[in-house]
């Protein structure tokens, strides 16, 4: 009996010690963030979908970080958001006072030979997660007369894009090389919003890699008034609103093409990714991850996202880590095939 009582006392003391250590860690995180500002870096200029998502996240996530720091959104456009990704990896403070988001393409493009200028290893970021999965589309001004994929095969057209690594650059290149489409790509627009302006001004005919959620948030009028025609879905799975529009993977002519396309569109799974710089203290990374997850379930955040037509289908930190490991374990022969299709 004495032995048992001793064991019980030891167990209670161990549990109490563990709880005290956990409380101490939580208090340390709260003490660190109290009174501080945290920078949320976003790799695009104001006015596009990535910016809108980031600012909506920024208005709510601070409540869920211990110490309730002030969140300051900082736009850092450049090179299809590669500039922001490089900043987060190499320059940003490694103390938990900075996190940010970049283009979904920046996640796997280094693997696929599309990481021009990238100075980061995505596997070493502290992954908070992604706000949504994504479906990209190819859409054209109605006056261009491209109403189907068959039209894309036969009618020359001009596509606007932001820069290397962005969906608007990658998907037109893949389509041109895989299916021999008569497309001319005009890259270098500062933001997605500028590409839309170029479409309205008839400077370009359309955009491939146009985020459906962004289109619905910012340019729904173009779709509902039939000023644009949505011809192709760039994703692994159709969405209900576009059930009549084919998937890019449906167009594959061989099994190898289909497998390569599945790898290429895997970038859509992490549609709105957010990371902390590598090497931040583990307790602060855990707090940021928990805050991101709590925000995705926050009724106030969800209500604002719904009001702005922002799709919220989150991927959380641990799942993001697993997805990235799987992608980077893709067989080399499939990676090479995908690279060949994506190469300019």
Tracing tokens 């995908």 back to the chain, one arrives at 338
Q: Is-contact 332 257, C-beta < 8 A?
A: no
CATH number of the domain residue 115 falls in? 3.40.190.150
Mean pLDDT, each 10-residue run in order, the chain (344 residues): 49 49 72 98 92 96 98 95 97 98 89 87 96 92 96 97 80 94 93 93 96 86 96 89 94 90 86 96 98 98 93 91 88 91 81
Q: Which of 214, 244, 266 is the last residue of a domain?
A: 266
* Lookup: tokens for 110: 């280094």
**In terms of residue numbers, what domain contains 231?**
136-266
Q: Is-contact 195 160, C-beta < 8 A?
A: yes
Residues 121 and 224 in one domain: no
Residue 22 pLDDT = 52
Residue 271 pLDDT = 86
Residues 89 and 157 in one domain: no
In whole angstroms, what is the distance from residue 272 CA to residue 287 CA? 20
CA distances from 241 to 134, 223, 238, 257 (A): 13, 12, 9, 26
Residue 47 pLDDT = 87
Indicate whether this model's pTM tops 0.75: no
Residues 157 and 251 in one domain: yes
Residue 170 pLDDT = 86
Residue 13 pLDDT = 46
């Amino acid at each position: 009996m004495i032995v048992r009582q001793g064991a019980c006392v030891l167990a209670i003391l161990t549990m109490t010690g563990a709880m005290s250590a956990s409380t101490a860690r939580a208090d340390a995180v709260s003490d660190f963030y109290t009174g501080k500002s945290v920078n949320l870096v976003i790799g695009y200029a104001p006015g596009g979908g990535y910016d809108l998502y980031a600012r909506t996240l920024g208005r709510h996530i601070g409540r869920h970080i211990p110490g309730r720091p002030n969140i300051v959104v900082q736009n850092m456009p450049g090179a299809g958001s590669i500039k922001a990704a490089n900043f987060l990896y190499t320059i940003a403070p490694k103390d938990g006072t900075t996190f940010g988001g970049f283009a979904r393409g920046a996640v796997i493009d280094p693997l696929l030979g599309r990481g021009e200028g990238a100075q980061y290893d995505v596997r070493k970021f502290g992954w908070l997660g992604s706000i949504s999965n994504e479906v990209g589309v190819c859409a054209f001004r109605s006056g261009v007369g491209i109403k189907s994929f068959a039209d894309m095969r036969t009618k020359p057209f001009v596509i606007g894009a932001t820069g290397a690594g962005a969906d608007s650059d990658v998907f037109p290149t893949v389509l041109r090389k895989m299916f021999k489409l008569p497309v001319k790509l005009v890259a270098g627009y500062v933001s997605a919003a500028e590409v839309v302006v170029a479409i309205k001004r008839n400077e370009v005919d359309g955009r491939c890699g146009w985020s459906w959620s962004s289109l619905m948030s910012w340019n729904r009028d173009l779709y509902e008034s039939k000023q644009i025609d949505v011809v192709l879905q760039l994703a692994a799975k159709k969405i209900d609103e576009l059930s009549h529009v084919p998937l890019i993977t449906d167009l594959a002519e061989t099994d190898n093409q289909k497998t390569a396309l599945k790898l290429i569109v895997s970038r859509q799974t992490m549609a709105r990714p957010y990371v902390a710089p590598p090497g931040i203290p583990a307790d602060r990374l855990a707090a940021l991850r928990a805050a991101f997850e709590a925000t995705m379930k926050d009724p106030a955040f969800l209500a604002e996202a719904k009001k702005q037509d922002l799709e919220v289908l989150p991927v959380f930190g641990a799942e993001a880590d697993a997805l990235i490991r799987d992608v980077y374990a893709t067989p080399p022969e499939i990676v090479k095939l995908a690279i060949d299709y994506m190469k300019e």
